[in-house]
Chains A and B, each alone.
Chain A
Protein backbone atom coordinates (compact mmCIF):
# COMPACT_ATOMS: atom_id res chain seq x y z
CA UNK A 1 0.00 0.00 0.00
CA UNK A 2 1.16 3.52 -0.76
CA UNK A 3 1.84 5.54 2.39
CA UNK A 4 2.82 8.84 0.78
CA UNK A 5 2.30 10.10 -2.74
CA UNK A 6 3.34 13.63 -3.61
CA UNK A 7 1.89 15.22 -6.73
CA UNK A 8 3.92 18.13 -8.15
CA UNK A 9 4.47 19.36 -4.61
CA UNK A 10 5.90 22.86 -4.79
CA UNK A 11 6.83 25.56 -2.31
CA UNK A 12 7.85 29.06 -3.32
CA UNK A 13 8.86 31.96 -1.09
CA UNK A 14 8.33 35.04 -3.28
CA UNK A 15 10.51 34.34 -6.33
CA UNK A 16 12.52 31.55 -4.74
CA UNK A 17 11.38 27.99 -5.39
CA UNK A 18 12.40 25.88 -2.40
CA UNK A 19 10.70 22.65 -3.48
CA UNK A 20 9.99 22.22 -7.16
CA UNK A 21 7.36 19.79 -8.52
CA UNK A 22 8.24 16.96 -6.18
CA UNK A 23 6.78 13.64 -7.30
CA UNK A 24 7.50 10.80 -4.96
CA UNK A 25 5.87 7.58 -3.82
CA UNK A 26 6.74 5.84 -0.56
CA UNK A 27 5.40 2.44 0.39
CA UNK A 28 3.88 1.50 3.75
CA UNK A 29 6.54 0.30 6.23
CA UNK A 30 9.40 1.71 4.15
CA UNK A 31 12.25 3.73 5.65
CA UNK A 32 12.93 6.47 3.15
CA UNK A 33 15.86 8.86 3.56
CA UNK A 34 15.90 12.31 2.02
CA UNK A 35 19.43 13.53 1.43
CA UNK A 36 20.72 16.84 0.25
CA UNK A 37 23.08 19.67 1.02
CA UNK A 38 21.87 22.69 3.03
CA UNK A 39 19.00 24.44 1.26
CA UNK A 40 18.17 21.37 -0.84
CA UNK A 41 14.55 21.49 0.30
CA UNK A 42 14.49 18.47 2.65
CA UNK A 43 13.16 20.24 5.74
CA UNK A 44 10.60 22.23 3.74
CA UNK A 45 9.35 18.98 2.22
CA UNK A 46 8.97 17.47 5.70
CA UNK A 47 7.24 20.63 6.93
CA UNK A 48 4.74 20.45 4.06
CA UNK A 49 4.08 16.76 4.70
CA UNK A 50 3.48 17.46 8.40
CA UNK A 51 1.17 20.44 7.66
CA UNK A 52 3.51 23.04 9.18
CA UNK A 53 3.96 24.70 5.80
CA UNK A 54 1.26 25.07 3.16
CA UNK A 55 2.32 24.09 -0.39
CA UNK A 56 2.24 26.82 -3.03
CA UNK A 57 0.90 24.24 -5.47
CA UNK A 58 0.54 20.49 -5.77
CA UNK A 59 -0.50 18.12 -3.02
CA UNK A 60 0.57 15.07 -1.06
CA UNK A 61 -1.69 12.20 -0.13
CA UNK A 62 -0.84 10.37 3.09
CA UNK A 63 -2.80 7.13 3.43
CA UNK A 64 -5.57 8.72 1.37
CA UNK A 65 -5.58 12.06 3.25
CA UNK A 66 -4.62 15.30 1.54
CA UNK A 67 -2.21 17.68 3.26
CA UNK A 68 -4.09 20.54 1.60
CA UNK A 69 -7.73 19.69 2.16
CA UNK A 70 -7.61 17.27 5.12
CA UNK A 71 -4.92 18.65 7.44
CA UNK A 72 -6.57 17.49 10.66
CA UNK A 73 -6.81 13.87 9.45
CA UNK A 74 -3.16 13.98 8.38
CA UNK A 75 -2.17 15.19 11.86
CA UNK A 76 -3.88 12.18 13.42
CA UNK A 77 -1.81 9.62 11.49
CA UNK A 78 1.58 11.33 11.47
CA UNK A 79 4.15 12.28 14.04
CA UNK A 80 7.34 14.25 13.81
CA UNK A 81 10.60 14.49 15.65
CA UNK A 82 11.76 17.97 14.63
CA UNK A 83 15.34 18.93 13.83
CA UNK A 84 15.82 20.60 17.20
CA UNK A 85 14.99 18.59 20.29
CA UNK A 86 11.28 19.12 20.92
CA UNK A 87 10.55 18.31 24.54
CA UNK A 88 8.85 20.24 27.35
CA UNK A 89 11.92 21.11 29.40
CA UNK A 90 10.19 21.58 32.77
CA UNK A 91 8.39 18.24 32.59
CA UNK A 92 9.93 14.91 33.54
CA UNK A 93 10.60 12.24 30.94
CA UNK A 94 7.50 10.35 32.03
CA UNK A 95 5.33 13.49 32.03
CA UNK A 96 6.48 14.36 28.50
CA UNK A 97 5.45 10.91 27.30
CA UNK A 98 2.14 11.02 29.16
CA UNK A 99 1.38 14.41 27.63
CA UNK A 100 1.89 13.18 24.08
CA UNK A 101 -0.09 9.98 24.70
CA UNK A 102 -3.05 11.99 25.99
CA UNK A 103 -2.86 14.57 23.20
CA UNK A 104 -3.14 11.73 20.68
CA UNK A 105 -6.24 10.37 22.40
CA UNK A 106 -5.00 7.59 24.71
CA UNK A 107 -7.19 7.33 27.80
CA UNK A 108 -7.03 6.01 31.37
CA UNK A 109 -4.88 2.91 31.85
CA UNK A 110 -3.96 2.95 28.13
CA UNK A 111 -1.77 6.01 28.82
CA UNK A 112 0.35 4.36 31.51
CA UNK A 113 0.57 1.09 29.58
CA UNK A 114 1.82 2.91 26.48
CA UNK A 115 4.22 5.08 28.49
CA UNK A 116 5.71 2.04 30.27
CA UNK A 117 6.08 0.26 26.96
CA UNK A 118 7.95 3.18 25.36
CA UNK A 119 10.10 3.74 28.45
CA UNK A 120 11.23 0.12 28.27
CA UNK A 121 11.69 0.20 24.50
CA UNK A 122 13.90 3.29 24.67
CA UNK A 123 15.71 2.29 27.89
CA UNK A 124 14.46 5.40 29.69
CA UNK A 125 13.79 3.71 33.07
CA UNK A 126 16.70 5.34 34.90
CA UNK A 127 15.75 8.86 33.88
CA UNK A 128 11.96 8.64 33.80
CA UNK A 129 11.64 10.95 36.83
CA UNK A 130 14.27 13.45 35.66
CA UNK A 131 13.20 16.77 34.19
CA UNK A 132 13.97 16.97 30.48
CA UNK A 133 16.12 20.06 30.95
CA UNK A 134 18.58 18.09 33.10
CA UNK A 135 19.24 15.46 30.40
CA UNK A 136 22.19 15.36 28.01
CA UNK A 137 21.63 16.15 24.32
CA UNK A 138 21.63 12.46 23.44
CA UNK A 139 18.98 11.56 26.02
CA UNK A 140 16.84 14.56 25.06
CA UNK A 141 16.96 13.46 21.42
CA UNK A 142 16.05 9.93 22.40
CA UNK A 143 13.11 11.24 24.43
CA UNK A 144 12.09 13.44 21.51
CA UNK A 145 11.88 10.42 19.22
CA UNK A 146 10.09 8.38 21.88
CA UNK A 147 7.50 11.19 22.13
CA UNK A 148 6.99 11.03 18.39
CA UNK A 149 6.41 7.29 18.55
CA UNK A 150 4.08 7.08 21.50
CA UNK A 151 1.09 8.02 19.37
CA UNK A 152 1.69 4.91 17.22
CA UNK A 153 1.82 7.00 14.05
CA UNK A 154 1.35 5.43 10.66
CA UNK A 155 4.03 7.77 9.35
CA UNK A 156 6.98 9.04 11.37
CA UNK A 157 9.09 11.97 10.22
CA UNK A 158 12.60 12.16 11.64
CA UNK A 159 14.19 15.46 10.70
CA UNK A 160 17.95 15.21 11.28
CA UNK A 161 17.47 12.92 14.30
CA UNK A 162 21.16 12.50 15.11
CA UNK A 163 22.35 16.04 14.40
CA UNK A 164 24.91 17.15 17.00
CA UNK A 165 25.10 13.79 18.77
CA UNK A 166 28.37 12.02 19.52
CA UNK A 167 29.20 8.75 17.77
CA UNK A 168 27.96 6.53 20.60
CA UNK A 169 24.66 8.35 21.03
CA UNK A 170 24.17 8.29 17.26
CA UNK A 171 24.76 4.53 17.08
CA UNK A 172 22.31 3.95 19.92
CA UNK A 173 19.66 5.97 18.11
CA UNK A 174 20.30 4.02 14.92
CA UNK A 175 19.51 0.85 16.85
CA UNK A 176 16.21 2.37 17.97
CA UNK A 177 15.35 3.41 14.43
CA UNK A 178 16.30 -0.04 13.10
CA UNK A 179 13.77 -1.61 15.49
CA UNK A 180 10.98 0.48 13.95
CA UNK A 181 11.66 -0.61 10.40
CA UNK A 182 8.80 -2.46 8.76
CA UNK A 183 6.18 -1.46 11.33
CA UNK A 184 6.08 2.27 10.73
CA UNK A 185 6.64 4.23 7.56
CA UNK A 186 9.61 6.47 8.30
CA UNK A 187 10.87 9.50 6.43
CA UNK A 188 14.32 10.46 7.55
CA UNK A 189 16.29 13.54 6.60
CA UNK A 190 19.96 13.56 7.38
CA UNK A 191 23.31 15.05 6.45
CA UNK A 192 25.11 11.88 7.46
CA UNK A 193 25.50 9.71 4.38
CA UNK A 194 26.45 6.59 6.31
CA UNK A 195 23.25 6.99 8.34
CA UNK A 196 21.09 7.00 5.22
CA UNK A 197 23.07 4.16 3.66
CA UNK A 198 22.88 2.01 6.76
CA UNK A 199 19.26 2.58 7.77
CA UNK A 200 17.21 3.23 4.64
CA UNK A 201 15.33 1.01 2.27
CA UNK A 202 15.48 3.73 -0.36
CA UNK A 203 17.14 7.12 -0.61
CA UNK A 204 16.08 10.30 -2.40
CA UNK A 205 18.69 12.92 -3.25
CA UNK A 206 17.48 16.50 -3.45
CA UNK A 207 19.28 19.55 -4.70
CA UNK A 208 17.91 23.09 -5.05
CA UNK A 209 14.36 21.87 -4.44
CA UNK A 210 14.49 19.15 -7.09
CA UNK A 211 14.52 15.41 -6.47
CA UNK A 212 17.52 14.33 -8.53
CA UNK A 213 17.54 10.61 -7.89
CA UNK A 214 15.70 7.87 -6.00
CA UNK A 215 16.77 4.31 -5.32
CA UNK A 216 18.50 1.98 -2.92
CA UNK A 217 22.06 2.88 -1.92
CA UNK A 218 23.44 0.25 -4.33
CA UNK A 219 21.21 1.41 -7.18
CA UNK A 220 22.40 4.98 -6.69
CA UNK A 221 26.07 3.91 -6.63
CA UNK A 222 25.50 1.94 -9.83
CA UNK A 223 23.64 4.74 -11.53
CA UNK A 224 26.36 7.26 -10.70
CA UNK A 225 29.10 4.79 -11.65
CA UNK A 226 30.73 5.62 -8.35
CA UNK A 227 33.05 3.62 -6.13
CA UNK A 228 31.07 4.32 -2.95
CA UNK A 229 27.92 6.02 -1.74
CA UNK A 230 29.64 9.31 -0.89
CA UNK A 231 30.90 9.66 -4.45
CA UNK A 232 27.45 8.72 -5.78
CA UNK A 233 25.86 11.38 -3.60
CA UNK A 234 28.25 14.08 -4.84
CA UNK A 235 27.73 13.11 -8.49
CA UNK A 236 23.95 12.83 -8.24
CA UNK A 237 23.62 16.04 -6.26
CA UNK A 238 25.43 17.92 -9.00
CA UNK A 239 23.44 16.30 -11.79
CA UNK A 240 20.70 18.91 -12.04
CA UNK A 241 22.88 21.94 -11.22
Chain B
Protein backbone atom coordinates (compact mmCIF):
# COMPACT_ATOMS: atom_id res chain seq x y z
CA UNK B 1 0.00 0.00 0.00
CA UNK B 2 2.09 2.89 -1.25
CA UNK B 3 -0.60 5.33 -0.06
CA UNK B 4 0.01 4.22 3.54
CA UNK B 5 3.74 4.88 3.14
CA UNK B 6 2.92 8.42 2.06
CA UNK B 7 0.45 8.79 4.95
CA UNK B 8 3.17 7.67 7.39
CA UNK B 9 5.52 10.28 6.01
CA UNK B 10 2.86 12.97 6.49
CA UNK B 11 2.21 11.82 10.07
CA UNK B 12 5.92 12.23 10.83
CA UNK B 13 5.94 15.68 9.20
CA UNK B 14 3.01 16.79 11.38
CA UNK B 15 4.32 15.30 14.62
CA UNK B 16 7.76 16.82 14.07
CA UNK B 17 6.31 20.32 13.69
CA UNK B 18 5.72 20.70 17.44
CA UNK B 19 4.81 24.39 17.44
CA UNK B 20 1.92 23.99 14.99
CA UNK B 21 0.84 20.81 16.71
CA UNK B 22 0.72 22.39 20.17
CA UNK B 23 -1.08 25.46 18.82
CA UNK B 24 -3.68 23.30 17.04
CA UNK B 25 -4.32 21.12 20.05
CA UNK B 26 -4.00 23.87 22.65
CA UNK B 27 -5.97 26.77 21.17
CA UNK B 28 -9.44 25.17 21.58
CA UNK B 29 -8.57 24.43 25.21
CA UNK B 30 -7.66 28.05 25.85
CA UNK B 31 -10.99 29.11 24.30
CA UNK B 32 -12.84 26.61 26.46
CA UNK B 33 -11.18 27.92 29.63
CA UNK B 34 -11.71 31.55 28.64
CA UNK B 35 -15.39 31.19 27.75
CA UNK B 36 -16.08 29.15 30.85
CA UNK B 37 -14.60 31.99 32.90
CA UNK B 38 -16.78 34.49 31.02
CA UNK B 39 -19.83 32.30 31.57
CA UNK B 40 -19.12 32.20 35.31
CA UNK B 41 -19.37 36.00 35.28
CA UNK B 42 -22.74 36.12 33.48
CA UNK B 43 -25.60 36.54 36.00
CA UNK B 44 -28.06 33.63 35.97
CA UNK B 45 -31.06 35.94 35.42
CA UNK B 46 -29.72 36.86 31.97
CA UNK B 47 -30.65 33.33 30.91
CA UNK B 48 -27.73 32.86 28.50
CA UNK B 49 -27.19 29.11 28.14
CA UNK B 50 -24.90 29.41 25.08
CA UNK B 51 -21.68 29.33 27.10
CA UNK B 52 -22.81 26.66 29.56
CA UNK B 53 -20.28 23.88 29.42
CA UNK B 54 -22.76 21.25 28.08
CA UNK B 55 -23.53 23.51 25.10
CA UNK B 56 -20.13 25.11 24.74
CA UNK B 57 -17.95 22.00 24.52
CA UNK B 58 -19.51 20.42 21.39
CA UNK B 59 -19.24 23.81 19.69
CA UNK B 60 -15.63 24.40 20.66
CA UNK B 61 -14.67 20.92 19.46
CA UNK B 62 -16.08 21.78 16.00
CA UNK B 63 -14.42 25.20 15.99
CA UNK B 64 -11.11 23.60 17.03
CA UNK B 65 -11.32 21.30 14.03
CA UNK B 66 -11.15 24.31 11.71
CA UNK B 67 -7.42 24.31 12.49
CA UNK B 68 -7.22 20.98 10.63
CA UNK B 69 -7.83 22.98 7.45
CA UNK B 70 -4.80 25.09 8.27
CA UNK B 71 -2.67 21.99 8.97
CA UNK B 72 -3.76 20.28 5.77
CA UNK B 73 -3.39 23.36 3.56
CA UNK B 74 0.04 24.26 4.99
CA UNK B 75 1.31 20.71 4.53
CA UNK B 76 0.16 20.38 0.93
CA UNK B 77 1.06 23.91 -0.20
CA UNK B 78 4.51 23.59 1.39
CA UNK B 79 5.04 20.26 -0.37
CA UNK B 80 4.01 21.80 -3.68
CA UNK B 81 6.93 24.23 -3.53
CA UNK B 82 9.52 21.47 -3.15
CA UNK B 83 11.30 19.22 -5.58
CA UNK B 84 10.31 16.35 -3.31
CA UNK B 85 6.72 16.52 -4.60
CA UNK B 86 8.03 16.58 -8.19
CA UNK B 87 9.81 13.34 -7.42
CA UNK B 88 6.59 11.89 -6.03
CA UNK B 89 4.65 13.07 -9.10
CA UNK B 90 6.90 10.84 -11.20
CA UNK B 91 6.16 7.88 -8.91
CA UNK B 92 3.19 5.49 -9.24
CA UNK B 93 1.17 7.40 -6.58
CA UNK B 94 -2.26 8.47 -7.88
CA UNK B 95 -4.26 11.59 -6.99
CA UNK B 96 -6.49 9.61 -4.61
CA UNK B 97 -3.36 8.26 -2.85
CA UNK B 98 -2.20 11.82 -2.21
CA UNK B 99 -5.55 13.00 -0.83
CA UNK B 100 -5.98 9.90 1.37
CA UNK B 101 -2.32 10.11 2.37
CA UNK B 102 -2.79 13.67 3.57
CA UNK B 103 -6.21 12.98 5.17
CA UNK B 104 -5.46 9.81 7.15
CA UNK B 105 -2.83 11.28 9.52
CA UNK B 106 -5.06 14.27 10.28
CA UNK B 107 -8.15 12.24 11.20
CA UNK B 108 -6.67 10.68 14.38
CA UNK B 109 -5.36 14.13 15.26
CA UNK B 110 -8.88 15.52 14.91
CA UNK B 111 -10.29 12.79 17.17
CA UNK B 112 -7.53 13.39 19.74
CA UNK B 113 -8.20 17.13 19.66
CA UNK B 114 -11.92 16.55 20.28
CA UNK B 115 -11.16 14.06 23.06
CA UNK B 116 -8.78 16.51 24.78
CA UNK B 117 -11.50 19.20 24.66
CA UNK B 118 -14.00 16.87 26.31
CA UNK B 119 -11.46 15.78 28.95
CA UNK B 120 -10.73 19.42 29.83
CA UNK B 121 -14.45 20.18 29.91
CA UNK B 122 -14.92 17.46 32.57
CA UNK B 123 -12.79 19.60 34.89
CA UNK B 124 -14.98 22.58 34.06
CA UNK B 125 -18.19 20.89 35.12
CA UNK B 126 -19.18 18.87 32.06
CA UNK B 127 -21.14 15.86 33.29
CA UNK B 128 -19.41 12.69 32.20
CA UNK B 129 -21.53 10.26 30.24
CA UNK B 130 -20.86 7.60 27.66
CA UNK B 131 -22.32 9.84 24.95
CA UNK B 132 -18.99 11.67 24.84
CA UNK B 133 -17.70 8.67 22.85
CA UNK B 134 -20.59 9.12 20.43
CA UNK B 135 -19.71 12.81 20.13
CA UNK B 136 -16.17 11.84 19.08
CA UNK B 137 -17.62 9.77 16.21
CA UNK B 138 -20.16 12.47 15.29
CA UNK B 139 -17.30 14.95 14.81
CA UNK B 140 -15.55 12.77 12.21
CA UNK B 141 -17.57 14.02 9.17
CA UNK B 142 -16.90 17.69 10.02
CA UNK B 143 -13.22 16.78 10.49
CA UNK B 144 -13.23 15.41 6.93
CA UNK B 145 -14.95 18.61 5.74
CA UNK B 146 -12.23 20.79 7.26
CA UNK B 147 -9.39 18.55 6.07
CA UNK B 148 -10.78 18.42 2.51
CA UNK B 149 -11.20 22.19 2.47
CA UNK B 150 -7.58 22.49 3.57
CA UNK B 151 -6.43 20.12 0.83
CA UNK B 152 -8.44 22.00 -1.78
CA UNK B 153 -7.06 25.38 -0.79
CA UNK B 154 -3.57 23.95 -0.36
CA UNK B 155 -3.73 22.54 -3.91
CA UNK B 156 -4.75 25.78 -5.61
CA UNK B 157 -3.17 28.45 -3.39
CA UNK B 158 0.38 29.16 -2.33
CA UNK B 159 1.74 28.80 1.22
CA UNK B 160 1.21 32.49 2.03
CA UNK B 161 -2.37 32.61 0.73
CA UNK B 162 -3.54 29.50 2.58
CA UNK B 163 -2.55 31.14 5.88
CA UNK B 164 -5.04 33.89 5.15
CA UNK B 165 -7.79 31.74 3.68
CA UNK B 166 -7.67 28.79 6.07
CA UNK B 167 -6.16 30.55 9.06
CA UNK B 168 -8.32 33.64 9.07
CA UNK B 169 -11.26 33.47 6.67
CA UNK B 170 -12.34 29.87 7.19
CA UNK B 171 -12.00 29.93 10.97
CA UNK B 172 -14.06 33.13 11.07
CA UNK B 173 -16.71 31.75 8.73
CA UNK B 174 -16.97 28.55 10.71
CA UNK B 175 -17.28 30.62 13.90
CA UNK B 176 -19.98 33.01 12.65
CA UNK B 177 -22.20 30.42 10.98
CA UNK B 178 -21.89 27.67 13.56
CA UNK B 179 -24.27 28.51 16.43
CA UNK B 180 -21.31 28.34 18.80
CA UNK B 181 -20.96 31.97 19.82
CA UNK B 182 -24.51 33.14 19.19
CA UNK B 183 -27.78 31.73 17.92
CA UNK B 184 -27.86 32.39 14.16
CA UNK B 185 -31.68 32.30 14.44
CA UNK B 186 -31.53 35.53 16.43
CA UNK B 187 -29.85 37.27 13.48
CA UNK B 188 -32.36 35.74 11.08
CA UNK B 189 -32.74 36.56 7.36
CA UNK B 190 -29.99 35.68 4.91
CA UNK B 191 -27.55 35.10 7.75
CA UNK B 192 -29.65 32.27 9.15
CA UNK B 193 -30.22 30.85 5.65
CA UNK B 194 -26.46 30.77 4.95
CA UNK B 195 -25.84 29.17 8.34
CA UNK B 196 -28.42 26.49 7.50
CA UNK B 197 -26.86 25.81 4.11
CA UNK B 198 -23.30 25.53 5.44
CA UNK B 199 -22.30 22.41 7.41
CA UNK B 200 -20.89 24.10 10.53
CA UNK B 201 -24.06 24.69 12.55
CA UNK B 202 -25.33 21.21 11.63
CA UNK B 203 -22.12 19.69 12.95
CA UNK B 204 -22.43 21.65 16.21
CA UNK B 205 -26.09 20.70 16.59
CA UNK B 206 -25.29 17.01 15.93
CA UNK B 207 -22.58 17.16 18.62
CA UNK B 208 -24.95 18.77 21.11
CA UNK B 209 -27.65 16.16 20.41
CA UNK B 210 -25.03 13.42 20.80
CA UNK B 211 -23.85 14.52 24.25
CA UNK B 212 -27.47 15.09 25.30
CA UNK B 213 -28.34 11.54 24.26
CA UNK B 214 -30.98 12.82 21.85
CA UNK B 215 -30.08 10.14 19.33
CA UNK B 216 -32.96 10.53 16.88
CA UNK B 217 -31.97 14.16 16.21
CA UNK B 218 -28.38 13.38 15.27
CA UNK B 219 -28.69 11.96 11.75
CA UNK B 220 -30.96 14.70 10.28
CA UNK B 221 -28.20 17.19 11.20
CA UNK B 222 -25.24 14.94 10.44
CA UNK B 223 -26.42 13.99 6.96
CA UNK B 224 -25.73 17.59 5.82
CA UNK B 225 -22.19 17.31 7.06
CA UNK B 226 -21.65 13.85 5.53
CA UNK B 227 -22.79 15.12 2.11
CA UNK B 228 -20.34 18.04 2.38
CA UNK B 229 -17.56 15.65 3.45
CA UNK B 230 -18.10 13.32 0.47
CA UNK B 231 -18.47 16.13 -2.09
CA UNK B 232 -15.42 18.02 -0.81
CA UNK B 233 -13.23 14.90 -0.70
CA UNK B 234 -14.15 13.93 -4.27
CA UNK B 235 -13.60 17.55 -5.38
CA UNK B 236 -10.19 17.59 -3.67
CA UNK B 237 -9.17 14.40 -5.53
CA UNK B 238 -10.33 15.85 -8.88
CA UNK B 239 -8.61 19.21 -8.34
CA UNK B 240 -5.40 17.51 -7.17
CA UNK B 241 -5.52 15.21 -10.18
CA UNK B 242 -5.82 18.23 -12.50
CA UNK B 243 -2.94 19.95 -10.72
CA UNK B 244 -0.80 16.81 -11.13
CA UNK B 245 -1.40 16.78 -14.88
CA UNK B 246 -0.54 20.45 -15.27
CA UNK B 247 2.91 21.12 -16.69
CA UNK B 248 5.54 21.47 -13.97
Contact = CB atoms under 8 A, between A and B. Distances in A.
Nearest to A100: B91
B247 A83 contact: no
B92 A88 contact: no
A76 interface: yes
Given A79-B90, A104-B92, A52 B9 contact: no
Given A47-B248, A51-B90, A76-B92, A82 B83 contact: yes
B88 interface: yes
Nearest to A44: B247
B2 interface: yes
Interface residues of A, number: 35
Nearest to A84: B83
Nearest to B15: A90
Given A86-B83, A91-B9, A91-B12, A52 B248 contact: yes
- Interface size range on B against A: 20 to 34
Given A54-B247, A90-B16, A95-B12, A103 B89 contact: no
B91 A104 contact: yes
A96 to B, nearest CB: 9
B87 interface: yes
Nearest to A107: B1
Given A52-B248, A82-B86, A85-B83, A75 B16 contact: no
A103 B92 CA distance: 7
B129 interface: no
Contacts of B83: 82-86
Given A53-B248, A104-B2, A88 B13 contact: yes
A151 B91 CA distance: 10
B216 interface: no
B165 to A, nearest CB: 24
Contact of B84 (A52, A87, A102, A151): A87
Interface in A41-84: 47, 50-54, 72, 75-76, 78-84
Contacts of B4: 102
Interface string A83-124: 111111111000100111011110000000000000000000
Given A76-B92, A105-B2, A86 B86 contact: yes
Contact of A88 (B1, B2, B9, B17): B9
A1 to B, nearest CB: 22
A68 B90 CA distance: 14
A159 to B, nearest CB: 10
A47 B89 CA distance: 11
B5 A103 contact: yes
B82 to A, nearest CB: 7
A49 to B, nearest CB: 10
A147 B92 CA distance: 14
A103 B9 CA distance: 11
B87 A86 contact: yes
B245 interface: yes
B91 A75 contact: yes
Contact of B90 (A52, A83, A90, A105): A52
B9 A54 contact: no
Interface in B89-104: 89-94
Given A54-B247, A86-B86, A105 B92 contact: yes
B6 interface: yes
A148 B248 CA distance: 19
A82 B84 CA distance: 8
A83 B86 CA distance: 10
A114 to B, nearest CB: 13
A151 B16 CA distance: 26
B87 A147 contact: yes
A190 to B, nearest CB: 17
A103 B91 contact: yes
Question: Which 8 interchain pairs have the tightest Cβ spacing?
Answer: A102-B5, A86-B83, A84-B83, A86-B87, A103-B2, A52-B248, A82-B83, A50-B90
24 contacts: A47-B247, A51-B89, A75-B90, A82-B83, A82-B87, A85-B83, A86-B82, A86-B83, A88-B9, A88-B84, A90-B12, A90-B16, A91-B9, A91-B12, A99-B5, A99-B8, A99-B9, A102-B5, A103-B5, A103-B6, A104-B91, A104-B92, A105-B92, A147-B87
Interface of B: 1-2, 4-6, 8-9, 12-13, 16-17, 82-84, 86-94, 245, 247-248
